[in-house]
Amino acid sequence: MDFLLYLYCLVFGIILIAPFVLFHYKFRLDESPFGKDEDAYLKPITEKKRNLLDSLKDIRSDFDSGKLTEEEFQNQSLPYIEALDSVEMELKDKKLNVANTTILQSPKLNENWTCASCGSFVAVPNAKFCPNCGTGRLA
């Protein structure tokens, strides 16, 4: 009798927990339901930039409300502006590094070429395939 009770409790526990586990793995918080985010590697840098801009907005609102003088405003905003410049440079560097590594060069095509598989000479100027056997002409 105890064996069936343990078995039913185990099955009931699996039935209760399985939807939560499946939901957790199916809809992860770090992934978009529309697919992977192409700029996910830039997320920490853009978050840091957004935080710096928010801090500058706060300082600007304090200055506009009269809580800060011109000198205090400039002294407090200068470190944020310098940090923002360095973050911008880092963001540009990462974007350029990714752009340089992902550029695919198209293969060069010869004007007149001989087919490697059938050996026939193709004199058609912009032919991408051999007219006799259909093989592509990548140089």
Q: Considering Cα of 121, then 125, then 126, then 131, what sign does the dihedral take?
A: negative
Max CA distance (Å), the chain: 87
- Residue boundaries of the structural domains of the chain: 2-102, 107-139
Rounded to 5 degrees, φ, ψ at 81 are -70, -40
Rounded to 5 degrees, φ, ψ at 12 are -65, -40
Q: Considering Cα of 61, then 64, then 67, then 70, what sign does the dihedral take?
A: positive
Tens digit of each residue's pLDDT (9 = 90 or more) over 87-121: 999 998 888 887 666 555 445 555 566 777 777 77
Tell me the pLDDT band of 139, cut-offs 50, 70 and 90. Answer: very low
Position 82, amino acid: E
Structure-model confidence comparison of residues 69 and 129, the more confident one:
69
How many CA atoms does the CB half-sphere of 95 hold within 13 Å?
10
pTM over 0.75: no
Q: Can you tell me whether residue 96 is helix, strand or coil?
A: helix
Instruction: Determine the average pLDDT of the residues in 67-77.
Output: 91
